[in-house]
Structure 1
Amino acid sequence: MATTTLGAGVVKRATRLADGRELIYFDDPGTTLGPERSVDARDLAPRPETATMRLDVLTGDWISIAANRQNRAFLPPAELDPLSPQTPTNPSEIPSRYDVAVFENKSPSFGPALAEATADAPAATDPPLGLADLAEYGLGRTRTSVGRTEVVCFSPDHTGSFGTQTITRARTVIEAWADRTAALSALPGIEQVFPFENRGQEIGVTLPHPHGQIYAYPYVTPRTHRLLSALERTGDDLFDRILAFESASERVVLRGEHWTAFVPFAARWPLEVHLVPHRHVADFAETDAAERDELAPLYLRLLRGVDALYETPTPYIAAWHQAPVHVGRAGARLHLELTSPRRAADKLKYLAGSEAAMGAWIGDVPPEAAAARLRDAIEGVQL
């Protein structure tokens, strides 16, 4: 097992699951766990074939058709949680007790094949030949869905979320995000890396275990293409100007030395918060120790403030936008966009005709009112 000491005293231990997928343990500083880890002795089926992407000529979007995902776990009982440590009666994905664990998804949207063969992954039969190749139009165009999809387990506990973790554990996850961003960005054919957390069945979560995911895409995502177009029109200092504009507004909900959280001026969702670093960094790998150290408690305060808005936990998507690997890194800045469809204690915003079909959004809650409620909730948070 390869062992590396990372920032903040986090220890990384890399190994393999029975079918060859990568499994990486990230131990908290001062962990109570020993250095040894159990071997995955399961008898697993071969990994699925890599999916195929199809080009939508109406939009230029590439759609990955990953039929293997139909068989993924759906709301299993606690005793069969696939993200808990293995027991004699639960042949889960993780052989040993852990603090934080990251492993390749058993039902991937992208991968396991890559644009070129590596020691760990085969070469795809029809990989994308770069961004220029992906930008070409043509009916019936396909490419292999090269890439990597990983699961990030925040805790061995069966229930919870990022916001229920300790400051130390949050810092370990942040270190894992930075490590995986650097490693995935270096893989052949990867164009963008996206860490995120889906929270709540209302969002579509099928496992209550506290976890997130990381997608390593073979293209620049449609949302990021729109950001790059905005940067081309307005200049690479756009995020500096956004920070200055929002910082002078009543929409700021939380501020630190290195990060500011605010409800954006043109928020689409009833609950939407952006968390932006003051210094320009393209991705987690470029953040320094001080920025990561502050992010851990600050992000926890934000998430617990979100949960304090109502008597029950709030569903959300916590999307960490990072710059593409090869383009736009001078202007595209790492930042969080946290969104929730919850517009009242017992009401959700559903995307119907205008938003879902036309992308024309109608806001239900004035951003200033949403910011005031969230700011009050955050003030009552104790870590």
Structure 2
Amino acid sequence: MATDNFFSDHPHRRFDPLRDQWVLVSPHRNKRPWQGKVDISENQPKPSFDDNCYLCPGNDRAHGNSNPEYEGVYIFPNDFSALLPDTPAPEKGSPLFRAEQARGEARVMCFSPDHSKTIAEFSIAEIVPIVEAWCDQLEELGARYKYVQIFETKGTILGSSNPHPHGQIWASDHWPQEVVVEDRTQAAWHSTHGRSMLLQLAEEESGGKRVIFENDHWLSIVPFWADWPFETLLLPKFPVSRMPDLTAAQRASLAEAIHGLVVRYDNLFECSFPYLMGWHGAPHDLKNDDYWQLHAHYYPPLLRSASVQKFKAGYEALAEAQRDMTAEQAAQKLRDAGGVHYRGNAA
């Protein structure tokens, strides 16, 4: 194993066995001057209720629909769903122009009626119902569809169309491409090494320099092979392939782990830290899932501050992933950002 000094001083490549790709790490570039795009950070207080927000309780949505006066987690069919339950199959043509039927449904999940907060400002007790709702949705939709993708897009910088705290649930009759890759790599690892790749990762990272938060059941890390500057993996420390299989204690512990991660994100640059988050678990039609391990990906775009974003362009778009800051340096910054939320309103 190379020394810490090697990794922090010299360009090198790191392999991501989960996504089967290499990442170029260039730590010597951290000192380069920045004259690129600067964004305005999302740091202005929001009202707890917004008359113009189509996710707030009691407000009207598209197509004549309206929200009830909900008080907790609220889930409804997406008014502009990317997937529909009844779609025709395309005609077969040239092998160069393959297409297939895509069936499914999409739902929106409001995390809270409070328009002013994000999950980072919730108490741990307020995150538990979100975890419970995820489990219920996976169980229900997984009985009808091959795969159910839970995700959150936080921040307009990433394309979120509404600042109200919410996520989405897309169920499909096919395996999404990212899941196809992770299924292949985890199966190959298990076949070669005789154990789960991500369970082994959790064991080897526990208590280490890339850990951001850890409790009895979960840990969040900046993975050794991280692509985005402050990318993280949220991992269980026990074997589990799907979220509905979590015990009550593991679900409560997961709420604590989510809180411990996202508060640090916000505290890092003292802003509402944008990210893409998604859960990956074993596909629901997969019979032998011993090699699968449940996990969540967090992909934040911020680079040096609340206003400087990383863009995947040039070499990254045409050759391979690249980052400047090492995973170890990023993890240290996030660990140091722990404590009470910088606005002082997270319990």
CA distance in 2, matches of 1:243, 1:333: 11
Confirm whether residue 161 of structure 1 aligns to residue 122 of structure 2.
no
The one-letter amino acid paired with 2:316 is E
Confirm whether residue 84 of structure 1 aligns to residue 56 of structure 2.
yes
The one-letter amino acid paired with 2:53 is D
Go from structure 1 to structure 2 and tell me whether the alpha carbon gap of 1:249 and 1:137 turns closer, same or farther (over 3 Å shift).
Answer: farther
SS across alignment from 1:176: helix
What TM-score do the two structures reach when normalised by structure 1? 0.70
8 Å CA contact retained: 2:102, 2:173: yes
Go from structure 1 to structure 2 and tell me whether the alpha carbon gap of 1:137 and 1:102 turns closer, same or farther (over 3 Å shift).
Answer: farther
- Give the CA deviation at 1:379: 4.3
Count matched residues.
288
SS across alignment from 1:144: coil
Residue from 292, 300, 305 that aligns with 2:259: 300
SS across alignment from 2:109: strand
Q: Report the counterpart of residue 133 of structure 2 in structure 1.
A: 176
The one-letter amino acid paired with 1:330 is D
What is the aligned-residue RMSD (CA, Å)? 2.6
8 Å CA contact retained: 2:119, 2:259: yes
CA distance in 2, matches of 1:89, 1:260: 38
- Give the CA deviation at 1:159: 3.3
Go from structure 1 to structure 2 and tell me whether the alpha carbon gap of 1:137 and 1:341 turns closer, same or farther (over 3 Å shift).
Answer: farther
Confirm whether residue 348 of structure 1 aligns to residue 303 of structure 2.
no
1:331-356 deviations in Å (ceiling 9; x for gaps): 12111111111011131101113333
The one-letter amino acid paired with 1:244 is E
Q: Report the counterpart of residue 217 of structure 1 in structure 2.
A: 172
Q: Report the counterpart of residue 98 of structure 1 in structure 2.
A: 71
- Give the CA deviation at 1:320: 1.2
8 Å CA contact retained: 2:120, 2:263: yes
CA distance in 2, matches of 1:247, 1:150: 35
8 Å CA contact retained: 1:83, 1:92: no
- Give the CA deviation at 1:89: 11
Is there any run of 5+ residues in structure 2 with no aligned partner, and where?
Answer: 1-48
CA distance in 1, matches of 2:68, 2:153: 24
Question: Greater relative contact order: 1 or 2 (C-alpha under 8 angstroms, separation 6 or more)?
Answer: 2
Residue from 177, 182, 188 that aligns with 1:227: 182
CA distance in 2, matches of 1:88, 1:363: 43
What TM-score do the two structures reach when normalised by structure 2? 0.77
- Give the CA deviation at 1:171: 0.6
Is there any run of 5+ residues in structure 1 with no aligned partner, and where?
Answer: 1-76, 114-123
Go from structure 1 to structure 2 and tell me whether the alpha carbon gap of 1:219 and 1:87 turns closer, same or farther (over 3 Å shift).
Answer: closer
Go from structure 1 to structure 2 and tell me whether the alpha carbon gap of 1:127 and 1:162 turns closer, same or farther (over 3 Å shift).
Answer: farther
Identity %: 30
CA distance in 1, matches of 2:225, 2:61: 50
Residue from 285, 291, 300 that aligns with 2:244: 285
- Give the CA deviation at 1:205: 0.6
8 Å CA contact retained: 1:261, 1:275: yes
CA distance in 1, matches of 2:151, 2:101: 23
SS across alignment from 1:148: strand
The one-letter amino acid paired with 1:194 is Q
Q: Which moved more, 1:344-353 or 1:176-185?
A: 344-353
Confirm whether residue 193 of structure 1 aligns to residue 148 of structure 2.
yes
- Give the CA deviation at 1:308: 0.2
CA distance in 2, matches of 1:224, 1:87: 36
- Give the CA deviation at 1:284: 1.3
Confirm whether residue 110 of structure 1 aligns to residue 78 of structure 2.
no
8 Å CA contact retained: 1:162, 1:211: no
Go from structure 1 to structure 2 and tell me whether the alpha carbon gap of 1:312 and 1:258 turns closer, same or farther (over 3 Å shift).
Answer: same
Confirm whether residue 323 of structure 1 aligns to residue 286 of structure 2.
no
- Give the CA deviation at 1:248: 5.5
Q: Report the counterpart of residue 57 of structure 1 in structure 2.
A: none
